[in-house]
Amino acid sequence: MSSSEEFEMEEVQVPQPAQNMPAEEIDPDRTASTLESLNHQNTADDDDDDQDEWEEVDASVQPTTSQQPQPGLQITLDNAAVKRPEKKDSKPRKAGPSPEERAARLASHKIHVIALVANAKHRNKLLNDELLHARMLSLVPMHCQLAFSSLTPSNVPDPIERSRLFDKALKRLLDWWRSSFDIDYNLKTLLTTPYAQTNDELNKKRKAKGTVDDNDQYEVIRSEKSLQKRALQMKGSRDMSAQLFTALCRALNVPARLVTSLQAVPYRVQSQPTNTVVSLDSDDSDTQPPTERFMTWKERQRSGFKGDDEAFIRGEAVSADRAPPQVKLSSHRRRKPKKGSKQDEFDVQSPPIFWTEVFSRPDGRWIVVDPIRSLIRTKARNMMDPQSAYKYNKMTYVVAFEEDGYGKDVTPRYAKQYGTRTVKQRPPSTKSKNGDWWESVAATFQRPYRLARDDVEDAELHQAQFSEPMPQSMQGFKDHPVYVLERHLKREEVVNPPREVGRFKGEVVYPRANVQLLKTSENWLRQGRIVVEGAQPLKRVKQRAVTIGRRRVQEAAAQAGEEEIMQGLYSRPQTELYRAPPVVGGKVPKNKFGNIDLYTPTMLPEGAAHLPQKGVGKIAKKLGVDYGEAVTGFEFRQRRANPVISGIVIDATYKETVMDAFEEWQSQQAEKEHEKMVRDVYKQWQKVVQGLRIRERLKEYRGNDQQPHEEVAGGAVNPGTDATSHQNALPANELQGEIKKYQPGTHEQSLDTITKAQRALPRRNRLFEGREADSEADATDEGGIDQDMEEVGVDNANKNKDTLEIDVPAKVGHPVALDVLIEQQEQEKSASAQKVAHDADTTHVPESRLRMRPSRPKRARHSSSENTSSSRRITRSRVSHNSTREDRKRNDEAVRVALDISDEKEDDASDDVSDDEVAPIEISSDEE
DNA sequence: TTGATGCAGGTTGCTTTGACTAAT
DNA sequence: CATTAGTCTTTGCAACCTGCATCA
Measure, in angstroms, how far nucleotide C14 C1' is from residue A557 CA: 20
Q: Is the Cβ–Cβ distance between A921 and A875 less than 8 Å?
A: no
Rounded Cα–Cα distance for residues A353 and A395 (Å): 9
Measure, in angstroms, how far nucleotide B22 C1' is from residue A680 CA: 23
pLDDT number for residue A664: 87
Nucleotides of strand C within 7 Å of the protein's CB atoms = 4-5, 8-22
Question: For chain A, what is the radius of gyration of the CA atoms?
Answer: 43
Is the previous residue joined to A497 through a cis bond, with omega within 30 degrees of 0?
Answer: yes
Rounded Cα–Cα distance for residues A505 and A485 (Å): 11
Q: Is the Cβ–Cβ distance between A132 and A224 less than 8 Å?
A: yes
pLDDT number for residue A833: 56
β-strands A256-262, A595-597: how paired? unpaired
- Residue A925's contacts (CB-CB under 8 Å, 6 or more residues apart) are A841, A844, A846, A848, A868
Coil/strand/helix, residue A151: coil
**pLDDT tens sequence across A817-865:** 444 545 555 666 666 555 544 443 333 433 333 333 333 333 333 333 3
Cα angle A731, A732, A736 (rounded to 5 degrees) comes to 120
pLDDT number for residue A570: 93
Coil/strand/helix, residue A584: strand
- The residue among A518, A40, A445, A526 whose CA lies nearest residue A257 is A445
Measure, in angstroms, how far nucleotide C19 C1' is from residue A25 CA: 20
Rounded Cα–Cα distance for residues A26 and A40 (Å): 24
Coil/strand/helix, residue A502: strand
- Which residue's CA shows the smallest distance to C1' of C3? A618
- The residue among A587, A598, A592, A571 whose CA lies nearest residue A498 is A571
Report the nucleotide nearest the CA of residue A523, measured to C1'. B16
Q: Is the CB of A487 under 7 A from strand C?
A: no
Coil/strand/helix, residue A346: coil
Q: Is the Cβ–Cβ distance between A347 and A389 less than 8 Å?
A: no
- Establish how many alpha carbons lie within 13 A of residue A589's alpha carbon, considering only the half-sphere containing its beta carbon: 11
DSSP secondary structure, A855-883, as one string = GS-HHHHHHHHHHHHHHHHHHHTTS-TT-
Nucleotides of strand B within 7 Å of the protein's CB atoms = 1-5, 8-18
- The residue among A889, A857, A578, A869 whose CA lies nearest residue A712 is A869
Report the nucleotide nearest the CA of residue A505, measured to C1'. B4
Strand order across the A608-611 sheet = A595-597, A627-637, A640-651, A608-611
Report the nucleotide nearest the CA of residue A472, measured to C1'. B3
pLDDT number for residue A219: 84
**pLDDT tens sequence across A193-222:** 777 777 777 777 777 765 555 666 778 888
- Which residue's CA shows the smallest distance to C1' of B15? A546
Structural domain boundaries of chain A? 127-437, 479-575, 680-927
Report the nucleotide nearest the CA of residue A196, measured to C1'. C19
DSSP code of residue A654: G
Report the nucleotide nearest the CA of residue A488, measured to C1'. C16
Q: Is the CB of A817 under 7 A from strand C?
A: no
pLDDT number for residue A827: 65
pLDDT number for residue A294: 31
The structural architecture, per CATH, of the domain A127-437 is: Alpha-Beta Complex (3.90)
Measure, in angstroms, how far nucleotide C7 C1' is from residue A905 CA: 32
Coil/strand/helix, residue A928: coil
DSSP code of residue A216: G
Kindly report the length of chain A: 928
- For A359-380, the three-class secondary structure string (H helix, E strand, C coil) is EECCCCEEEEEECCCCEEECCC
Rounded Cα–Cα distance for residues A417 and A395 (Å): 10
Measure, in angstroms, how far nucleotide C18 C1' is from residue A518 CA: 26
Is the previous residue joined to A412 through a cis bond, with omega within 30 degrees of 0?
Answer: no
Residues with CB under 7 A from strand B: A 84, 87, 93, 95-96, 99, 102, 341-342, 388-389, 430-432, 472-476, 520, 522-523, 526, 544-547, 549-550, 591, 593, 595, 597, 631, 633-634, 636-638, 640-643
Q: Is the CB of A96 under 7 A from strand C?
A: yes
Q: Is the CB of A515 under 7 A from strand C?
A: no
- Which residue's CA shows the smallest distance to C1' of B8? A95
Q: Is the CB of A271 under 7 A from strand C?
A: yes
Measure, in angstroms, how far nucleotide C1 C1' is from residue A901 CA: 39
Distance set, CA A836 to CA A870, A874, A922 (Å): 20, 16, 22
Q: Is the Cβ–Cβ distance between A818 and A849 less than 8 Å?
A: no
pLDDT number for residue A356: 97
Measure, in angstroms, how far nucleotide C21 C1' is from residue A601 CA: 54
- Give first-to-last CA distance, chain A, whole Å: 79
Measure, in angstroms, how far nucleotide C4 C1' is from residue A623 CA: 18
- Residue A434's contacts (CB-CB under 8 Å, 6 or more residues apart) are none
- Which residue's CA shows the smallest distance to C1' of B11? A99
- The residue among A534, A497, A532, A538 whose CA lies nearest residue A518 is A538
β-strands A815-817, A805-807: how paired? antiparallel
Partners of A631 in beta bridges? A597, A645
Strand stretches in A105-243, DSSP E: 182-183, 235-236
Q: Is the CB of A164 under 7 A from strand C?
A: no
Cα angle A422, A423, A428 (rounded to 5 degrees) comes to 140
Rounded Cα–Cα distance for residues A829 and A823 (Å): 10
Q: Max alpha carbon distance in chain A (Å)?
A: 125
Amino acid at A916: D
Cα A910 versus chain centre, distance: 42
Report the nucleotide nearest the CA of residue A273, measured to C1'. C20
Q: Is the CB of A542 under 7 A from strand C?
A: yes
Measure, in angstroms, how far nucleotide B7 C1' is from residue A203 CA: 33
Report the nucleotide nearest the CA of residue A635, measured to C1'. B16
Instruction: For residue A757, count other CB atoms closer than 10 A to its CB.
Output: 19
Report the nucleotide nearest the CA of residue A621, measured to C1'. C3
Measure, in angstroms, how far nucleotide C21 C1' is from residue A89 CA: 17
- Which residue's CA shows the smallest distance to C1' of B2? A473
Report the nucleotide nearest the CA of residue A97, measured to C1'. C19
Alpha helices in A339-451 (DSSP H): 411-414, 437-445
Cα angle A7, A8, A13 (rounded to 5 degrees) comes to 135
Rounded Cα–Cα distance for residues A876 and A742 (Å): 19
Measure, in angstroms, how far nucleotide C21 C1' is from residue A93 CA: 9
Rounded Cα–Cα distance for residues A464 and A412 (Å): 6
Q: Is the Cβ–Cβ distance between A399 and A409 less than 8 Å?
A: yes
Q: Is the CB of A505 under 7 A from strand C?
A: no
Cα angle A421, A425, A431 (rounded to 5 degrees) comes to 110
Report the nucleotide nearest the CA of residue A471, measured to C1'. B3
DSSP secondary structure, A475-486, as one string = HHHTT-SSEEEG
Q: Is the Cβ–Cβ distance between A673 and A848 less than 8 Å?
A: no
Q: Is the CB of A637 under 7 A from strand C?
A: yes
- Which residue's CA shows the smallest distance to C1' of C12? A546
Low-confidence residues of chain A: pLDDT under 70: 1-96, 209-216, 269-348, 389, 430-434, 704-928
Measure, in angstroms, how far nucleotide B18 C1' is from residue A598 CA: 21
